[in-house]
Structure 1
């Protein structure tokens, strides 16, 4: 399944060379969309803008920023924000003006190595953390910023994607931050780029090229990431590099109140990662809240309704009111907010999945006739093998699904490592199948090992007469309904070998799904 907007790994390899800018000409608009904000309503204050502002970082590097100040005479809390990968501080202007119009002093900056800032891109590593700390100190020196002590501003951080990762990494090192709002952030970059060891090359390639085109990348990152794209297999050194720049390696050190915002449709940083951040910070006895909506690093398949935009705006203001202004917004902000597409509304909860959901185990063997041997040949373009295998479970009453499904599938005959892909689908009464949130999970099996795989977190409501389906394949392009714009259907690296795999739908083959029935 290829088209003019789909890049194979060979395309990516060519893109790593001199002709990369021409090859990925269609990628920049997609990555630019990562930077955009939903429309924000204005507050009661007019905003003064100072640009540029230059701040000297810990190592002498110049970090360039824009300062947004409300027309308020008394000192106010501050918000520090930066952009996504490959972006600039200009991308944060709508968000910065939104907060400033509501009375916050906002500093939006070019992350190191991007835009007008100096230095080299270290993938939200120690250097970027040092930059954020220098900017916190700079804010504390402003007369119109409230402080809680010397060099200690009353401040929150808010940002998307790359601008979300820096929040968590900085908070692990610096307790001066009073509140975080990481949107579309990762938990473990090693998992993000290669979940269960399968390279997500459809994202890794364009992001790598975009970083080279729009920033000055650190040589260590270039030396580690380039070969991974060429081979289709990330090295242990690259995975360690990613983990060092991830909350997964420092969860116990993050003690800043955090409102985690993530999108059901995000195919770069799955909701699973937001769940890990939310629960991990919560275990530190810190105010940790979760908001899930139809957003993320996927644009055509993730419409944002006015209900969602308004809810998020109210939530972030309530969050800052709680932790920066000692307000009473806590009563209006649930621990967990889950957007439900069927009702275009948010369900408030104290847990995830929300109350009333129980994990139900579906036996894949129940979909096989008793007289049939429950053995299947899963193929990858071979003549006698199935390109996909599906297991169907009819729904007799209205059934809600919210949470992380888990698939257990005995396999054999791989003769090596096989990359396997799985998706949960709904099938309507006319037989039309839809991949839930366009999400496909990846795993790998060695020789005769079973596939035990947490699928991507999803939400949906099925009506009586519809069908819940799980489908597996050796190529994720066989499963995708909506390609990522500019990237295509194949997000993951296919196995070099084998071309087929035997699958058993016996008693050990199960799909576990969190459900709530009417």
Structure 2
């Protein structure tokens, strides 16, 4: 439904050496990871700071926002993005308070004014969240479902989105959550399909160190995170201990206990947590018959965050309030099953289903495509590698919307190969490109999902797939063995519908 109106409210290399070697990259890439929301004035909303001792005695810095109308009200628990503090959540906290919620914001363990070691939204942070829910349940300002069980939801982006999903699979007291631009599988996020995302890992570790560099020996990022990074650089893959810990912090690996109604807000062009993260959470819940909603927009981690139109921010905040009103307050209000920001038209559209009921899978054979570039993919030097380009001319007006499936046959000349796949429309990347690690020389068939996308194509437009073997944000494969794609045995399948 195009243009529908909406009621809007609302790693150890050595810590010091690491900072010296990655400071520039950190500054360049971290913009927006811990950015602050603009504070909104709230008529009648009051706030008070509290230091709450967590389950292990660690002091957590918090702020409680209470609405103008006194008396027990449903609650919202909020924290902040990586490397930031609770002040970044104040604007949305006041938004919820203005809508009748009691809101508790807090500095996540190790960040801001809270003590402790940053544990990457792990077991300690989960217990912190449970302890704060216990604290809220004892407050007169908070409405209860039963003893020790407040009517409560959560909202927040990135690191603050990860803790929502992790807390939700550990504690069933959460009535609803709104994770924004966050992960569903931290192993995939930091090494998609086995290719280590070094640029983002370096930026995040550097930003985490800067954010906790406050002369407090009890406030820091866990040291083994730097060990993981060093080992990844040495071995060209995620260390087993990092994989184990990543799974503990990922809802897709803990899905059996996850059944919280969830509104996922993700960005089309997010290079840290791509749209497939949200799609996978949605699949889990839909498979269990639990209500879930999706919204995709243009933005994400980095400079893109600053370019999100104010109208889109307001619209998404309105969805978030409505979602919590529905599941926490029990109001007769709903959110569209799927909301899409169409970058080509600059409009929001909504859909009643996902995957869309009126799409069908269309297969594009690489053997039938026009071909250019190199038959054999090689990397000649740091700044010179080859690519293979396959393109198809679209025969009629269509809309691509959903999650593409890739089935590619390759011949690998070395011990490993890193392949990068970039699906484009008229030369512009759709969603985000995705990598894949191939182990062992010889012939391989690889199958994987490309990040969820939406794009309208007109008859005569060019759909293009570029395949290459090096990208500055990722580790290169060991050695310089060449890779040959077998187009006759390769295809991509994309959900689409006529326009």
Residue 291 of structure 1 corresponds to 295
Whole-angstrom CA distance in 2 between matches of 1:408 and 1:498: 24
Match of 2:437 among 444, 448, 455: 444
Whole-angstrom CA distance in 2 between matches of 1:258 and 1:425: 31
Post-superposition shift, 1:450?
2.4
Contact 1:322 / 1:329 at 8 angstroms: preserved in 2? yes
Whole-angstrom CA distance in 2 between matches of 1:495 and 1:30: 23
Aligned: 1:472 with 2:467: yes
Residue 336 of structure 1 corresponds to 338
Whole-angstrom CA distance in 2 between matches of 1:184 and 1:291: 10
Contact 2:26 / 2:206 at 8 angstroms: preserved in 1? no
Residue 137 of structure 1 corresponds to 134
| Structure 2: tracts of 5 or more residues without a match | 1-10, 213-219
Post-superposition shift, 1:342?
2.8
Whole-angstrom CA distance in 2 between matches of 1:235 and 1:151: 40
- Give 1:174-213 correspondences, 5 Å limit: 174-213=171-210
Q: Deviations over 1:97-139 (max 9, x none)?
A: 1111222111110111111111111111111011001111111
Residue 314 of structure 1 corresponds to 318
Residue 406 of structure 2 corresponds to 407
Post-superposition shift, 1:414?
2.0
Q: Deviations over 1:291-334 (max 9, x none)?
A: 1111222434883234422321221111111112211112xx12
Post-superposition shift, 1:343?
3.1
TM-score by length of 1: 0.86
Residue 48 of structure 2 corresponds to 50
Post-superposition shift, 1:375?
8.8
Residue 483 of structure 1 corresponds to none
Counterparts in 2 of 1:356 and 1:15: CA distance versus 1, 3 Å: farther
Contact 1:265 / 1:301 at 8 angstroms: preserved in 2? no
Whole-angstrom CA distance in 2 between matches of 1:50 and 1:13: 39
Residue 265 of structure 1 corresponds to 269
Residue 429 of structure 2 corresponds to 435
For the residue of structure 2 that corresponds to 1:411, the secondary structure is strand
For the residue of structure 1 that corresponds to 2:307, the secondary structure is coil
Post-superposition shift, 1:443?
0.2
Counterparts in 2 of 1:101 and 1:22: CA distance versus 1, 3 Å: farther
TM-score by length of 2: 0.90
Aligned: 1:346 with 2:345: no
Whole-angstrom CA distance in 2 between matches of 1:55 and 1:80: 14
Contact 1:417 / 1:498 at 8 angstroms: preserved in 2? no
Counterparts in 2 of 1:178 and 1:358: CA distance versus 1, 3 Å: same
Counterparts in 2 of 1:382 and 1:353: CA distance versus 1, 3 Å: same
Whole-angstrom CA distance in 2 between matches of 1:127 and 1:191: 22
Aligned length: 479
Counterparts in 2 of 1:222 and 1:475: CA distance versus 1, 3 Å: closer
Post-superposition shift, 1:181?
0.6
| Structure 1: tracts of 5 or more residues without a match | 1-11, 428-432, 477-489
Whole-angstrom CA distance in 1 between matches of 2:286 and 2:415: 40
Contact 2:157 / 2:179 at 8 angstroms: preserved in 1? yes
Whole-angstrom CA distance in 2 between matches of 1:282 and 1:316: 19
Contact 1:294 / 1:302 at 8 angstroms: preserved in 2? no
Residue 380 of structure 2 corresponds to 381
Whole-angstrom CA distance in 2 between matches of 1:495 and 1:153: 50
Aligned: 1:325 with 2:329: yes
Q: Deviations over 1:178-229 (max 9, x none)?
A: 1111111211101111111100111011111222222312244343344224
Whole-angstrom CA distance in 2 between matches of 1:358 and 1:302: 35
Aligned: 1:453 with 2:434: no
Contact 1:160 / 1:183 at 8 angstroms: preserved in 2? yes
Whole-angstrom CA distance in 2 between matches of 1:85 and 1:113: 11
Whole-angstrom CA distance in 2 between matches of 1:375 and 1:118: 54
Post-superposition shift, 1:497?
1.7
Whole-angstrom CA distance in 2 between matches of 1:441 and 1:23: 24
Post-superposition shift, 1:397?
2.0
Residue 6 of structure 1 corresponds to none
Counterparts in 2 of 1:32 and 1:264: CA distance versus 1, 3 Å: same
Post-superposition shift, 1:26?
5.7
Residue 494 of structure 1 corresponds to 476
Counterparts in 2 of 1:39 and 1:349: CA distance versus 1, 3 Å: farther
Contact 2:33 / 2:83 at 8 angstroms: preserved in 1? no
For the residue of structure 2 that corresponds to 1:295, the secondary structure is coil
